Structure 1
Amino acid sequence: METKDYVKRSHQRSIDFGVEYNRMYSSKILKGNELQIKLEANRELLTTAKSFMEELYNFVEGSGFFAILTDQEGCILEVLGDDKVLAVSHGLEMIPGAYMDEEHIGTNAMGTALAEGIPVQISGEEHFVKAYHRWTCSAAPIRNSIGEAIGTLNLTGYSEYVHSHTLGMVAAAANAIAYMLESKEVNNKLFLAKKSIETIVDSIDAGIFTVGPKGYMKTINQVASHMLQYTNDEILGMEGIKLIEGWAGVQESVESNISYVEEEAYIKTKKGKIHCTLSAYPILDESKNLQGIVCMIREIKKMRRLVNKMIGKQALYTFDKIIGRDENFIRMVNYAKKISDSPSTVLIMGESGTGKEVFAQSIHNHSERRDEPFVAINCGALPRNLIESELFGYEDGAFTGAKRGGHPGKFELADGGTLFLDEIGEMPLDMQANLLRVLEEGKLFRVGGNKEIAVDVRIIAATNKDLRDEVERNNFRGDLYYRLNVLPLILPPLRERKSDIPLLIDYFMTIKALKLKKSMTYLPRDIMDQMINYTWRGNIRELENVIENLMNSGELNFLERVELSSTSNESSPRVYSLESEPLEDMEKRHIHQVLTKYEGNVSQAAEALGIGRNTLYRKMAKYKIDCSKMTRCSEVEHENAGGMF
């Protein structure tokens, strides 16, 4: 794509200003009294623009965007947006008082809009400084009655959500602010505000329509027309009650000045009902009389899909990313591929660190549900009293602290896709009965609700426990076990895949070298053999940690000796060079540490070290290690040691 002319000019200005490519923050940020003076000087602009910023933000709320207002020098006066994205922007000091003109932070929409005198959109690498490459920014100058720029209005979000309509929406809002500042009469202000809102409404990816005071449709935007599958001519003049189930309740709430925001509703379209969220806002005249209702609708399934993508509720792993050549492992991978499209429940069993979630995501991505949500929940990580509401959701007022309007659970969020129940063996018994009912019927009730909700969810469960043994011990319901264990998948521990260890070592070394920006490290044959024969109690997760430790350790580019401790509770080895410590000293110190850990119990220490008791006695004699001062060293062990201690 050819670089825009104004971006080229701006980059050259940034170079001339001496702006550093790796700069993180604006080189000029007002604070304290200086900031207060700046805000006071722009009080009229700030007061007038704030309502438009709020209008603008209301339309993009929850989408990861935030609005910024600057003065004519590019100094930020106000920032409004979602808490999560504001936390990121604050980390870059994009706060009131920061100068966003090109001289202090290089090419960006606000500074470049002021420099060029036109609305501009700057996305990704079009920003001069690297720290802003994650953003897409759309800004337009705000002008006074004689055409001078007195500030800018800007909308910023993550670069992957760039859209050309955003700039038009911002430009329209900026023009509305300018008109409002210029207007002297209330009627003219209302007219121009209406025009700006109409422009914004037509730019928003949500269905918006108005209903008159007598309940008839008056206006509708293109998105709503598409959702309802009616043309403008067909829908204008239609009664709202014929479109919205429970419309009388909505109207009553608005007339009673009761907030009606993001409530669930069913909308009647030409081809049936759609499940939506509905927000309704009153249109009042100067005497506070209701003159109509503005409604905003969003289809819940599309909203959840968007939210899932934004917060990472999508499967990332696929079978082609699974590394292995062990014959039994390959057969298991092929079996997992074969069952991917089945609607039946999968139960993945294996030790911690064997890759259960990797397989769950790969199965999802190999299935016909790949474009639908993949939602994971760790049944062992949630407090007991939250599991039910997390799985099944809750209604408004279901319990103290419940979110107004209720909240969907993981089953609803995964509707149409896959729900991954990790650590299923940790689920409390009383919750297992509720889960079994949903699995058998495909329907659920939210906590505190009485409305049955149908869900289409493929279940993949995982555990590192022997569920059959848990059933015999009455820790797990037998009926749920057999309901889950339709398609069992048992992942082998890494110690049973020795031929795969060199492949995994090479893979992790490659990605860690890229991540840590270090050159590749090659292990000597003897160290590779040690790693192949190591027990790897933490499996692949432990191996990955070990490799990252190796890549980070010391100043050596080539690791010459690695001592893997089979008794260490940590998932990483200690690394030494040949010159760092004699091998015998290292062995003596290690044996002493293990014996100390087990309080002189030779049997336990020998088992932990992976050697026989007699071998350990010989090494203790060789290194003159006395266990008599260790509290659990028994008389029998003294005798077995030949009285040498």
Structure 2
Amino acid sequence: MKNLLRPETRRALPWEKVKQIWKDLHERPDLRKGLRPEIYDSWERSYHYNVQRGMRETTNLIPEREFAFAKENSKYLMETAVPVMERLSEFVRGTGFVVLLSDANCVSLKTIGDEASLEWSRRANVVERTVWREEKVGTNAGHLCMLLVKPISIYSYEHFCLFAILGAASFAPIVDKGRVIGSIGMVAPYERVSHHTLGMVVAAADHIQSILALNRVSKYHQVITDSMSDGVMVVDLDGTITYMNEKCSKILRVGSTDVIGANIHSIFGTKPENQFFVNTVTQGRTLIDDLLVLYHGKNQIRCHITCTPLHGTNPTDMGTVVIFRESERMNSIVGKWIGRSTKMTFDDIIGNNPKFQHCVNIAKTTCQSDSSILLLGESGTGKDVIAQAMHNESPRKNNPFLAINCAALPRELIASELFGYEEGAFTGAKKGGNVGKFELANQGTLFLDEIGDVPLDLQVALLRVLEEKSVIRMGGNKLVPVNVRIIAATNRNLEEEIARNRFRRDLYYRLGVIRLIIPPLRERADDIPLLVHHFLGLICKRFGKPLKKVSLQAMEALMNYEWPGNIRELQNVLESAIQLAPDDEIDYEFFKQNLGFETPLPVTAESNTSEDSSSEELRILRETLLRNRYNKSATAKELGVSRQCIYRRLQKYNLL
């Protein structure tokens, strides 16, 4: 019997002999020990499942509706596998073999073969819609290869059921991403068995798995490139466009399916202005983020272009990869990058002075508006901080904030900085032109500091931009729409400038839809202790020094100083003191001797010759106010009196 089970003896066996061996295997358990271990285990499971071994045909067909559902679920597998099956079937035409494809549930999805082999497969119950699960039809190659996750051949009498012993089958699992998704096999009358069959189905399964993997990579590649914000185009050595992603087709305003396979000359070659670009691509030259203007039909396309040659030993793989970046998007990226330093918020604005708080409250209220704002105040009062805080509190906070100091620019450069210029607009204009601050700040905020220093003739152009919400670059003729909120600032008295014909009244009204007058530091002296404490903490931390304090006399001196440079001057004075003062406490004498400004001598108990109770009361009041950073409520609580009492004492000693 063992001899009869050897592969080389099987082809010569007559049908009666095959059938007898199958019967003996069922009737004599000792003979079954001669089966291959995987076949033996499968027979034992089939007995356990109570599979009817004497079945002459299989009735295990799923309904047509379920079959349609199974094919739909395996649509991608079938699209990939069927072409491979057709080539394999053509290769074995005339040998009696049919090629089968099953899904992960062992449902036979597709049977392919020549007319004679298909006729035999119908007689042998090898048909579509059959469920070849072991618990239904016993031992078979289709289910066993997926169960073991390895190729296997099963010969005639090795099948558990009678109807199956007519044939011999070789199947291999199809594995995708570590999961068995189906199987491919070859089935023929048992007398046509060949030891080459298993190798052919293994090769077919490997081919299908390779196609699935390549398709996945191709799909990922397509999804990645189509999700890119840059356009991608690949051109071969002959100038033929071999690839273009969706973004590229939108930038160039062409259909990607229309141009793939077309020559780049047919799209760009007819315009002399495009010759530099076409030559760069077709001659395999490198280009890095150059700003070019391309012409396609009536369309003018302004974009930054990078060309990278493809090198390799195979000429068919050579060519150029072209990356297109829209000029408007690049402007937005640059604008956002420039605006990243805009970190100041209303939480960074220090002060409890009623007049100053009124100004801050108006600024907060108008953050949601798009109306232009004019900040008026002396130099150093914090106009730029309020502008940043308003931007960061507004709906435009995730878009650019650009600041330009109009007084710091030479007169001839203000227009080009604000509005930009085209290539060749003037001598020295850089290639590709330049983007102005209005375009860079699109969708964001433009802070025009020292607006009172803009020359009168440029004020007309600025007014036009504010009214039309679009700019024309110097040397250009194209209107570029811009959506920008303007915050302007000046330390000049613009009404006096208007009276002297140095500032346009219409521009003043356009900029000053909302006007904020920021009080100088001398008018909010009660905020100085708060500001001193805040700046000392920031500056000491920045220089890695222990926190310093300011003595009572020194604080009174700082509060009595006029501060012509306002908060900026206060910051600079404190920064110098932190680095130069030898002790942890900065005293009055140090400010007087080392920092170059005359601080009025503070009035203290030591300098007051009167010993009456008023002097003592004044001293206690000042010390308590200082300890509580001039918080009136905290001072009143420490002294055990009402806030009204504190205000009366402050009024008495002219401290309000």
Q: TM-score, normalised by structure 1?
A: 0.51
2:210 equivalent to 1:210: no
Alignment check: 8 A CA contact 2:268 2:278 kept: no
TM-fit CA distance, 1:525: 1.7
Structure-1 separation of matches of 2:534 and 2:238? 68
2:449 equivalent to 1:419: no
- What secondary structure is seen at the aligned counterpart in 1 of 2:586? coil
1:506 to 513, 521, 533: 533
Note the aligned Cα RMSD (angstroms): 4.4
TM-fit CA distance, 1:232: 7.8
2:564 equivalent to 1:524: no
Partner of 1:163: none
1:436 to 456, 463, 472: 463
Structure-2 separation of matches of 1:564 and 1:554? 9
1:217-616 alignment runs, 5 A limit: 217-220=241-244, 236-237=260-261, 248-249=271-272, 251-255=274-278, 262-264=290-292, 276-279=303-306, 294-312=321-339, 314-562=341-589
Structure-2 separation of matches of 1:233 and 1:460? 47
- Identical-residue share of aligned pairs (%): 43
- What secondary structure is seen at the aligned counterpart in 2 of 1:497? helix
Say if 1:427 and 1:529 are closer, same or farther in 2 by CA, change over 3 A: same
Say if 1:500 and 1:234 are closer, same or farther in 2 by CA, change over 3 A: farther
- What secondary structure is seen at the aligned counterpart in 1 of 2:585? coil
Say if 1:314 and 1:552 are closer, same or farther in 2 by CA, change over 3 A: closer
Structure-2 separation of matches of 1:507 and 1:292? 61
The letter of the residue matching 1:378 is: N
TM-fit CA distance, 1:410: 0.7
Structure-2 separation of matches of 1:312 and 1:502? 32
TM-fit CA distance, 1:319: 0.9
Say if 1:245 and 1:344 are closer, same or farther in 2 by CA, change over 3 A: farther
Give the number of the structure whose alpha-carbon radius of gyration is greater: 2
Say if 1:285 and 1:501 are closer, same or farther in 2 by CA, change over 3 A: closer
Structure 2 unaligned blocks of 5 or more: 1-220, 602-606, 608-656
- What secondary structure is seen at the aligned counterpart in 1 of 2:550? coil
Alignment check: 8 A CA contact 1:304 1:413 kept: yes
Alignment check: 8 A CA contact 1:348 1:488 kept: yes
- What secondary structure is seen at the aligned counterpart in 2 of 1:432? helix
Partner of 2:642: none
Structure-2 separation of matches of 1:574 and 1:251? 72
Alignment check: 8 A CA contact 1:549 1:572 kept: no
Structure-2 separation of matches of 1:246 and 1:459? 43
Say if 1:226 and 1:563 are closer, same or farther in 2 by CA, change over 3 A: same
Alignment check: 8 A CA contact 1:502 1:528 kept: yes
Q: Deviations along 1:442-493, whole A, 9 cap, x unmatched?
A: 1221111122211111111000000011000111111111111111011110
1:622-641 alignment runs, 5 A limit: none
The letter of the residue matching 1:421 is: L
- What secondary structure is seen at the aligned counterpart in 2 of 1:359? helix
TM-fit CA distance, 1:572: 9.5
TM-fit CA distance, 1:221: 6.0
Say if 1:390 and 1:480 are closer, same or farther in 2 by CA, change over 3 A: same
Alignment check: 8 A CA contact 2:554 2:586 kept: no
Q: Deviations along 1:307-350, whole A, 9 cap, x unmatched?
A: 34444555211111111111222221111111112111110010
TM-fit CA distance, 1:267: 10
The letter of the residue matching 2:558 is: M
Alignment check: 8 A CA contact 1:546 1:572 kept: no
Say if 1:250 and 1:520 are closer, same or farther in 2 by CA, change over 3 A: same
Alignment check: 8 A CA contact 1:267 1:276 kept: no
Alignment check: 8 A CA contact 2:445 2:484 kept: yes
Structure 1 unaligned blocks of 5 or more: 1-197, 576-582, 584-645
Structure-1 separation of matches of 2:268 and 2:363? 44
Structure-2 separation of matches of 1:541 and 1:337? 22
Structure-2 separation of matches of 1:431 and 1:226? 37
TM-fit CA distance, 1:279: 4.5
Partner of 2:157: none
Say if 1:410 and 1:241 are closer, same or farther in 2 by CA, change over 3 A: farther
TM-fit CA distance, 1:554: 3.6
TM-fit CA distance, 1:210: 2.0
Structure-2 separation of matches of 1:491 and 1:570? 27
Structure-2 separation of matches of 1:570 and 1:527? 14
Structure-2 separation of matches of 1:571 and 1:392? 43
Q: Deviations along 1:266-317, whole A, 9 cap, x unmatched?
A: 899xxx999643455788999x9xx966421113344234334444555211
- What secondary structure is seen at the aligned counterpart in 2 of 1:433? helix
The letter of the residue matching 1:253 is: F
Alignment check: 8 A CA contact 1:347 1:489 kept: yes
The letter of the residue matching 1:505 is: V
Q: Deviations along 1:352-400, whole A, 9 cap, x unmatched?
A: 0000110111111111111111111100001111111111111111111
Say if 1:511 and 1:240 are closer, same or farther in 2 by CA, change over 3 A: same
Alignment check: 8 A CA contact 2:400 2:440 kept: yes
The letter of the residue matching 2:567 is: I
Partner of 2:167: none
Structure-2 separation of matches of 1:233 and 1:509? 65
The letter of the residue matching 1:391 is: L
Q: Deviations along 1:148-194, whole A, 9 cap, x unmatched?
A: xxxxxxxxxxxxxxxxxxxxxxxxxxxxxxxxxxxxxxxxxxxxxxx
Say if 1:469 and 1:241 are closer, same or farther in 2 by CA, change over 3 A: farther
TM-fit CA distance, 1:263: 3.0
TM-fit CA distance, 1:252: 2.7
Alignment check: 8 A CA contact 1:394 1:406 kept: yes
Structure-1 separation of matches of 2:230 and 2:242? 17
- What secondary structure is seen at the aligned counterpart in 2 of 1:489? strand
Structure-1 separation of matches of 2:370 and 2:262? 42
Larger deviation, residues 201-210 vs 521-530: 201-210
Structure-2 separation of matches of 1:245 and 1:372? 35
Say if 1:311 and 1:440 are closer, same or farther in 2 by CA, change over 3 A: closer
Say if 1:445 and 1:458 are closer, same or farther in 2 by CA, change over 3 A: same
Structure-1 separation of matches of 2:340 and 2:294? 25
Alignment check: 8 A CA contact 1:314 1:373 kept: no
Alignment check: 8 A CA contact 1:523 1:559 kept: yes
TM-fit CA distance, 1:250: 6.2
The letter of the residue matching 2:275 is: E
The letter of the residue matching 1:263 is: L
Q: Deviations along 1:587-609, whole A, 9 cap, x unmatched?
A: xxxxxxxxxxxxxxxxxxxxxxx
Larger deviation, residues 554-563 vs 344-353: 554-563
Structure-2 separation of matches of 1:405 and 1:249? 16
The letter of the residue matching 2:370 is: P
